[in-house]
Each structure stands twice: as C-alpha cells, then as structure tokens.
Amino acid sequence: MAGVPASASGVFVNFTVVNQGAGGWIEPYPTGTTRPLGSLNFPATNATGFGVSVDVNAAGKVSVYVGGGGPLDVTVDVVGYFSGTNGATGAAGSFTSLQHRVLDTRGGTKLAGAAVTTIAVAGIDGVPAAGSGVAAVSLNVTAWDLVPSTVGYLRVWAADQGEPTSSALPYSYNVLRSDLVVVPAREDHPPEKSR
C-alpha cells in the first residue's frame, strides 16, 4: 500500500486526529502484538497531528487503539518505510521499536520554565549504551501546561551539543500537545536535554 514494499519492517506515518468529542490518546502498534505503553495524546477541541515510527507485522499491517475521545476521525499518511529485519529480533536492521517511557513528571516535580533538564536515554530500557554506535533516538514528547495564561515551548537536543534555536513542541494553557522528535547522539555521550 502507498508504495510500501512487502519486505518493509516498519513505517513512518503521520496521524491526524480531528472531530474528537473529548481528549484522549491513540496507540499505533504492529497488528497481532501486545499494545505498547507509549501513546499519542490529543486534546478535546484541537485537530492534532503526530509523526510516528511503527513496526508492521508479517502481513504489513498496523493496528491503532483509541483511548478516550471517541468517536473521532483519523487520517493516516505514510511518509516512508524502513527496510531490513527488525532489530528487535537480534538481526541487523534499520529500525527498532522500543516504546519505553524515560520520563513522566505527573505526580512528581514539574519541569521548570526557562530551565534545562537532562534525561538519561542511552542504556535505558533497551536503548544501547553510550559508545555502542547509536547515532540518534526518536522520542514521543508530550506537554500539558496547567498554568493559566501561559505559553511556551520545549527544545530537545543531545546533552553534549549546543542548544538549538528551533522548538520541538510549542504548548499553551490546558492544551495537551504531543510530537515525535529525532535527536542525534554522539557515541561518547548519552542524549538528551530539554528546555
């Protein structure tokens, strides 16, 4: 479908959620496998888009679970595909799906505004250790601002590199935002920082 060969091990797709009755989340995953922990959150009133990498099953299919917010409309656009054997099998491949949460501030200390937070990613929950040849990681970043009349943004970058000038995720009061970011990493340092 959409030019994706039968030999593809995964796809990069854009999901857009519209006409939702309430806030909720979607969870894309390979059909026939266990539903993952990670999710893509959307607010009650705003059309929301997500870019995400997801493995496909042997038949080339992906399932999408909707948690809350339904019924709703979703568009799915295939941006590209990954070739080779899935790295999760232990064989060489160009794409590995991990679906692990490395930070959750709910119920704990919130991220302060105009401050940098360093998050260990390399060597955590299946991500290879720093120095093992990892070139980059992909992260689903979610922000929910509960301070009235505020707006802001998150920037995400490798901890040993300079802070970028572009934001990865803008946010505003009481609107849940989520997006996929790909962060380069150097072999001798783990990613990443966020502001």
Domain count, the chain: 2
Task: Decide if 77 contacts 23 (C-beta within 8 A).
Answer: no
CA-closest candidate to residue 122, choices 105, 149, 140, 102: 102
Rounded to a whole number of angstroms, the CA Rg of the chain reads 17
pLDDT digits (tens, 9 = 90+) for 134-168: 777 878 788 877 777 788 888 888 888 888 887 77
Distance of alpha carbon 28 from alpha carbon 144, whole angstroms: 21
Q: Are residues 124 and 176 both part of a single domain?
A: yes
The average confidence (pLDDT) of the chain is: 78
Q: Are residues 124 and 185 both part of a single domain?
A: yes
Q: Residue 195 — pLDDT band, cuts 50, 70, 90? A: low
Distance of alpha carbon 36 from alpha carbon 99, whole angstroms: 6
Q: Are residues 121 and 189 both part of a single domain?
A: yes
pLDDT at residue 1 greater than cutoff 60: no
Task: Decide if 72 contacts 19 (C-beta within 8 A).
Answer: yes
Beta bridge partner(s), residue 80: 12
Task: Decide if 158 contacts 131 (C-beta within 8 A).
Answer: no
Q: Are residues 38 and 79 both part of a single domain?
A: yes
Distance of alpha carbon 187 from alpha carbon 190, whole angstroms: 8
The structure tokens 């707006």 sit at: 151
Q: What is the pTM of this model?
A: 0.59
pLDDT at residue 91 greater than cutoff 80: no
Q: Are residues 189 and 121 both part of a single domain?
A: yes
Beta bridge partner(s), residue 41: 25
Q: Are residues 120 and 192 both part of a single domain?
A: yes
Distance of alpha carbon 92 from alpha carbon 112, whole angstroms: 40
Determine the structural domain holding residue 59 and report its residue range.
8-84
Cβ neighbourhood burial of 2 (10 Å; 0-12, 13-18, 19+): exposed
Task: Decide if 39 contacts 27 (C-beta within 8 A).
Answer: yes
Residue 91 in domain: no
Q: Cα 92–134–123 angle (5° rounding)?
A: 105
Choose between 140 and 94: higher pLDDT.
140
